[in-house]
Amino acid sequence: MNLHESIFLASASPRRRELLAQIGVRHEVRPADVDETPLPGELPAAYVGRVAAAKAEAVWSVAAGAPVLAADTSVVLGAELFGKPRDQSEGLWMLRELAGRTHEVLTAVAVRSEHGLAAALSVSEVTFRALGEDECLRYWQTGEPLGKAGGYAIQGLAATFITRLTGSYSGVMGLPLAETATLLADAGVRIWNCGATGARERAEVTE
């Protein structure tokens, strides 16, 4: 098996870069441009898996010199997918729906390498406390919900909303590290590469 010192990350997410740096994985950002529209009747797990795989394949097709890592995250309440809010109205609606309830966070991870495509799915459950209308509005106005599945960031101010988490904290952030490390190791990628601090510094330099 070929050993790889670095990978391509098919995402511009700073959270995914931070998580890769945490486990010492050298990476270069190569965002993927794919259609993320759900298919009619598509189940949430199938949706995130399909999109993650499409991102990995899209980058592999133009940058096949190293394994490609891609991921996709969705918040699911009942059978409804909550993606990234498009505006304040949708963001506030999402927070109202999630308040006082338990939802799922699905993150699919895909790695494309010379060995083919390998994938894994992380499923976590997150419970929110009750939220007031003013609190939802103030949270939206911080700007944190923009670009976040479900309109919140567990690693940010929204940590104050969460009363219970079952599953993967890093998975809710957008990149489940246990599954990611296994997929990368199977693809011949070195993790814990020169320590997490050095990897984090390299990630910042290449931003």
> CA-CA distance, 125 to 105, in Å (whole number)?
6
* Distance from C-alpha of 18 to C-alpha of 199, rounded to nearest angstrom: 9
d(CA 124, CA 138): 26
Catalytic residue among 72, 87, 134, 186: 72
> Is residue 72 flagged as an active site residue?
yes
Three-state DSSP at 199 gives: helix
pLDDT tens by residue, 120-138? 999 999 999 999 999 999 9
* DSSP 8-state symbol, 66: S
Q: Give the whole-angstrom CA distance, residue 82 versus residue 59.
A: 25
- Does the model's pTM come out above 0.95? no
Rounded to whole angstroms, the Cα distance separating 96 from 27 reads 37
CA pair distance 181, 197, nearest whole angstrom: 17
Q: Could you give the dihedral angle defined by the CA atoms of residues 3, 5, 8 and 9, in that order, rounded to the nearest 10 degrees?
A: 110
Task: Give the pLDDT score at 122.
Answer: 98
pLDDT digits (tens, 9 = 90+) for 24-34: 999 999 999 99
Q: Is the pLDDT of residue 202 over 60?
A: no
Q: Which domains does the chain have, with CATH numbers?
A: 6-205 (3.90.950.10)
Assess contact for 165 and 90: CB atoms under 8 A: no
The secondary structure of 147-180, three-state, reads CCHHHCCCCCHHHHHEEEEECCHHHHHCCCHHHH
Q: Measure Cα distances from 182 to 41, 103, 192 in Å.
A: 31, 26, 13
Distance, in Å, from the CA atom of 37 to the CA atom of 58, rounded to the nearest integer, reads 16
Q: Which residues contact 183 (CB under 8 A, 6 or more apart)?
A: 69, 109, 110, 111, 118, 119, 120
3-state secondary structure of 178: helix
* pLDDT for the residue numbered 65: 84
Q: What is the pLDDT of residues 34-70, one digit of tens each?
A: 999 999 999 999 999 999 999 999 999 998 789 999 9
Q: Give SS3 for 82.
A: strand
Tokens of 117: 């495509």
DSSP label of 17: H
pLDDT (0 to 100) of residue 64: 73
Tokens of 161: 């909303």
